Structure 1
């Protein structure tokens, strides 16, 4: 453990110790995202919504993260970030409860989607406020010391959501509840947990003196637009935006159909797994492999630099997608084989995604790197949203086997943009101490 962590007030049991709020804050940041992007897909599949509709309408839920940089100044101008964090967590908890209430209704799909839209906007706004609060409430050395903590608990939220909650829904169904009742219980549990987190943060979040509304004069508004315009004046920005939009072009389509493929019946071309099996194989084993791949990818870049590592990491991301084609061909009946295949695919995705993050950092380099990085995340979300929208329709037309064949072909635009992007020598490599 670093000296910064050892010297933190946690050791003395201080009431404002970062350990009292950093883990819970980033766990809370991860939960609504995984609910909107992953649990909604599995829930709608269990409730017999078509793949076409699932992919189209849940892909639209990326939009708040696409346009997040456009309304981020509101978080700066109106209220404190602490107030935003707590208020939005109460709002997300209420939205989760509303989803549970809509499920027994005849128009549950439209009504629950509307609530998911509200939750997505609240979650994207919460991201802005939480990240800003983290920077204000901690000293520079503490920010560095706790960055691993925040990343770990965000990942744990993903594993808990995609693994534990999917498993819980399956367990309730197997005990005799309907899918409606099972998902009502899951959403109600989430709502209660989120309201408890909101109450905890209302009590435990520190109140830094620097956490105050920014001045809303015209100079700040002009500065915002100047920063935005400066992003599009960067050298090579057209290629950079193309890279951000197309690097995950295959994965954006695969992601929306991965869990429906695992859940669909054999006569529909799927693997006929139960929710409990999907929660174990994809939500637990797969996400653990994804995390390990990300850690290894970060080490590779720090050791060899992004320029030397880029092509191996890109290939590591796209080639393992062949496991889905293989599973659609042979339909393995063993959960161990399926789990192993998903682990390979997710490990490769974790490796390749580190390269994507480093390119975002490279594009954002400059005097406004924080704001420009936020713009990059908007393009990242757009690159996932648009291909995901048509993926369900395409799978319905082609069937799973040919769809996964298309996913492999769809790597070509990603490879093209990788060939065009310019990476400085030594970028990302950790230099030895003098």
Structure 2
């Protein structure tokens, strides 16, 4: 009878897969992008914003260590529900912290807890997905993963930012952002309650290793990772692949919101939410889908250089916008949508490269997670420096540096050796 119940649960992943991945997307986007806009509206300087909000990404680079602890203590279901409750609490506390004199320091501390909670939630969600679904089901529902993760991005960086702009006209910026944080808290709390009832229960405990045994395994995973063929060259490649993105990611929203008199574009929160958060994200999804067909038709090795070009060169859009500062929103919107489409199209390339050339081997899943964590550092570190650079150089000079940063990876992509044949 138990087997029948498990079969029924596993036959209905539509009940929990979309909501789990929506719950992954919302905290990450709120911390990495929306917090930039909120702090900008509340008068924090660009250098402080870019440095500290970039540092918040660090817990997503520590997933391999977190996952070791999670394998020894507790269940994935428990971690997922608890982290959603913690995220709801943190968003709620941020809401009440915003009127305080030291709101920036307090909010960052709360966001640090939220970041650890969010990265732990990601590990638990992926773990449940792989544990409860067959290989065939994983393939069938992978589209739901991406769709609802990006739906969270559209809601958070699009709809909620738009709402903040509308509310600020009658309530003021501080109250508007308090309401947005409260909405995020309510959504995460609702997800926790919903998942308490619908998530599949883990029938048996999978715990069996002590902490020392787990550390020994982790050491073996790390050692085998760094002795792989071409691994150091590959690590340089994945760092350079997203270097320009890491520089531009935090500064671009600030540039779009800053006034024309200081070199920006002067977008309101409403316009930003519609163009950057909504239309841009939809373009990203479309680019990702089309890229999959492109790679599957020609093979990754043949198209890797073109993917690197497609991913990096469109950052020139921000340089052009910085030089001409167009007031016509159609020009601004078209440029941003084009850049986001190209970003989505090219991002698939680095994901598949890590899967096909870095991950294969005894510890395939662990090595992919490890490579992904190291790749996050290639976004975090440049992001921490980006605010100071943009202040020193101005937006026009800064985005010129971003374009120079794209050159090394473009050159490397033409000579990069492949350690594994794609048919494997």
Q: 2:104 aligns with which of 109, 129, 148?
A: 109
CA distance in 2, matches of 1:310, 1:15: 37
Distance 2:13 2:213 in 1: 34
For residue 145 of structure 1, report the CA deviation from its aligned partner.
1.2
Note the C-alpha offset of 1:217: 6.3
Following TM superposition, where does structure 1 have runs of at least 4 consecutive aligned residues deviating by more than 4 angstroms?
A: 12-16
Q: Deviations over 1:377-404 (max 9, x none)?
A: 1111100011111111111111111111
What residue in structure 2 maps to residue 277 of structure 1? 271
Q: What runs of 5+ residues in structure 1 fail to find an aligned partner?
A: 1-8, 430-434
Specify the alignment match of 1:187 in structure 2: 181
Deviation, 1:140, is 2.3
Counterpart position of 2:295: 301
User: Once the two structures are superposed, what CA deviation does each residue of 1:132-185 show, in whole Å capped at 9, x if it has no partner?
Assistant: 1111122222122111111111111111111011101001012x2121100000
Deviation at 1:224, TM superposition (A): 2.2
Which position in structure 2 is the counterpart of 1:406? Answer: 401
- Does 1:353 pair with 2:357? no
Partners of 2:81 and 2:227 in 1: how far apart?
37
The answer as to 2:85 corresponding to 1:90 is yes
Structure 2 CA distance for partners of 1:210 and 1:422, relative to 1, 3 Å: farther
Q: Is the 8 A contact 2:72 2:211 kept in 1?
A: no
Whether the 8 Å contact between 2:243 and 2:382 is mirrored in structure 1 is yes
2:261 pairs with 1:235: no
Matched with 2:59 is 64
Cα distance change, pair 15–412 in 1 and its aligned pair in 2 (3 A): closer
Aligned residue among 155, 158, 169 for 1:160? 155
Distance 1:15 1:209, change over 3 A: closer
Mean alpha-carbon deviation: is it higher for 72-81 or for 131-140? 131-140
1:127 CA displacement: 0.7
Q: Following the alignment from structure 1 to structure 2, what is the Cα–Cα distance between the partners of residues 214 and 42?
A: 45
Structure-2 separation of matches of 1:265 and 1:428: 52
CA distance in 1 between partners of 2:199 and 2:208 (Å): 20
Match of 2:216 among 200, 207, 222: 222
**Structure 1 position 371 matched with structure 2 position 375:** no
Offset of residue 244 of structure 1: 1.7
Q: List aligned pairs for 1:28-43, cutoff 5 A.
A: 28-43=23-38
Moved more, 357-366 or 16-25: 16-25
How far off its partner does 1:309 sit? 0.5
Q: CA deviation at 1:319?
A: 1.6
Cα offset, 1:420, TM superposition: 4.5
Asked if 2 retains the 8 angstrom alpha-carbon contact of 1:81 and 1:211, the reply is no
Residue 326 of structure 2 aligns to a residue whose secondary structure is coil
d(CA) in 1 for partners of 2:335 and 2:168?
26
The CA distance in 1 between the partners of 2:316 and 2:45, in whole Å, is 25
- Contact 1:90–1:195 (CA<8 Å) still a contact in 2? yes
Aligned counterpart for 1:388 among listed residues 383, 386, 389:
383
The one-character-per-residue Cα deviations of 1:273-322 (angstroms, maximum 9, x if unpaired) are 10000000100111111111111111111110111101111111122111
| Pair 1:368–1:210, CA change in 2 (3 A) | farther
Q: Work out whether residues 154 and 278 of structure 2, in 8 Å CA contact, stay in contact via their aligned partners in 1.
A: yes
Partners of 1:132 and 1:36 in 2: CA distance: 23
User: Match of 1:336, SS?
Assistant: helix
CA distance 1:42–1:214, shift in 2 (3 Å): farther
Alignment of 1:114-129 (within 5 A): 114-129=109-124
Cα offset, 1:369, TM superposition? 0.7
Q: Which of 261, 279, 286 is the equivalent residue of 1:267? A: 261
C-alpha distance in 2 between matches for 1:189 and 1:118: 18
TM-score where L is the length of structure 1:
0.93
Instruction: Assess, with a 3 A threshold, how the Cα gap between structure 1 residues 237 and 14 changes in structure 2: closer, same or farther.
Output: closer
| Distance in 2 separating the partners of 1:212 and 1:193 | 31
- Specify which of 73, 82, 103 is matched with residue 78 of structure 1: 73
Deviates more, 1:74-83 or 1:134-143: 134-143
Distance 1:137 1:145 in 2: 13
Secondary structure at the residue paired with 1:415? helix
SS class of match (1:146): helix
Q: CA deviation at 1:270?
A: 0.6
Residue aligned with 2:362, SS: coil
- Give the CA deviation at 1:326: 1.2
Residue 6 of structure 1 corresponds to none
1 CA distance for matches of 2:70 and 2:404?
42
Equivalent residue for 1:319, pick from 313, 333, 346: 313
Q: TM-score, normalised by structure 2?
A: 0.95
Match of 1:432 in 2: none
What is the RMSD computed on CA atoms of the aligned residues? 1.9
Unaligned runs of at least 5 residues, structure 2: none
Q: Given that residues 306 and 426 in structure 1 are in contact (C-alpha distance below 8 angstroms), is that contact kept between their aligned partners in structure 2? A: no
